[in-house]
Amino acid sequence: MPSVKVIGTIVAIIIVVSVISVYYYYKSSSTLQPATVNNSLRIVSLAPSDTQILISLGLGKYIVGTDYYSYQLLQSLNLTKDIPSNITVFSQISPPNISGLLLLHPTVIVVEKGLIGSYIEQMKEAGLNVLITNNDFASTYSQIENCILKVGEYFNVTSKAQQLIDWMNQKISDFSTAGNVSVAYLLWICPDLSFYTAGGNVFINSIIVQAGGINVFANYSGYPLLTPSPLLIIKPSVVIAQEVYNLTYTNYLISQYKGINSSNVYIMGNLATNLLNEPGPLSVYSIQVIKLIIEGKAPHFISDNWVINNLNVTLPVF
């Protein structure tokens, strides 16, 4: 059984991310001059969504440091070939390891405002150049594409940015479908069976809709913590839950929701969760995942191996 301390830490992270989402409406101004792409360019990327964009824009070879979650995702998809073999991997995103960043002598650090926004001024004061993105606050694919353009303009690779956007739009068109299947998404289930979910103004809601579903909690905002009652009253056609620690424990938690038919429940493993939770180029495949779930064509546990063997997840490099 997981410890209360560990559960408290994870729940606290979710709450913090939810609270700081108000910053989405507070646009950051950047006085950085466009970067010159040459062998002296040294990039640090501190968010998986940003790392995906940088690699797709052909800038992977200039990344000298990244966060653990970015590296883990690249490993899962066998994409570490697109970054230097001696890259420095930081074990945590927030708070940033400023002394470690300085040792890398980066020309620019690409950061998500939603993840480390409160540390940006501290990083600048330390003499670090910071390019701020806000994909983690995106609620639509068009907002992700705007961020791609911003990064493309900074590194003077706007044509590649447009190619990436065109690729994403093609995938979205290929995977999307119309539908009205009721879907409940359980972002995190707590030991008392309360759960965090996705409201109607966050990116996960957009994915559910694109996949032919209706988010039963769309009337909420952000990532609310709900008691079991709304879930049991609504009785959605499909329940999708992120894996909590392991499959056995997650199945145990879900079995405690009396009245939920287990044949309607699908559990997302680590890789599927990362595709869904990170609003970057690879998130287009999450539409395919949810669509296959809604159509009953996916297994009830969406394992990493199933994703790799059935979805042909690729990150284009332009």
Q: What are the chain's domains? A: 41-170 (3.40.50.1980), 177-309 (3.40.50.1980)
Tokens of 161: 């940015």
Residue 6: pLDDT over 80? no
Tokens of 255: 């079995």
The pLDDT, as a whole number, for residue 245 is 96
The pLDDT, as a whole number, for residue 264 is 96
Chain-wide mean pLDDT for the chain? 90
The pLDDT, as a whole number, for residue 39 is 82
Bond into 95 cis (ω within 30): yes
Percent of residues, the chain, with pLDDT higher than 70: 90
pLDDT greater at residue 150 or residue 114 = 150
b vs e for 192-207, b when ≥16 Cβ sit within 10 Å of the residue's Cβ? Answer: eeebbbbbbebbbbbb
Backbone phi and psi for residue 127, each to the nearest 5 degrees, phi listed first: 95, 15
| One-letter amino acid of 210 | Q
Backbone phi and psi for residue 97, each to the nearest 5 degrees, phi listed first: -85, 85
The pLDDT, as a whole number, for residue 110 is 97
The pLDDT, as a whole number, for residue 32 is 61
Residue 114: pLDDT over 90? no
Residue 18: pLDDT over 80? no
Say if residue 14 is exposed, middle or buried (CB neighbours under 10 Å; 0-12, 13-18, 19+): middle
* Enclosing H/E stretch for 284: helix 284-294
Residue 4: pLDDT over 90? no
For the stretch 213-226, pLDDT in tens is: 999 999 999 999 99
The pLDDT, as a whole number, for residue 25 is 34
Backbone phi and psi for residue 64, each to the nearest 5 degrees, phi listed first: -100, -10
Place of tokens 């990116």: 203
For the stretch 165-208, pLDDT in tens is: 999 999 999 999 999 999 999 999 999 999 999 999 999 999 99
pLDDT greater at residue 33 or residue 151 = 151
The pLDDT, as a whole number, for residue 33 is 66
Give the pLDDT band of residue 117 (cuts 50, 70, 90): confident
Residue 288: pLDDT over 60? yes
Mean pLDDT of 31-54: 87
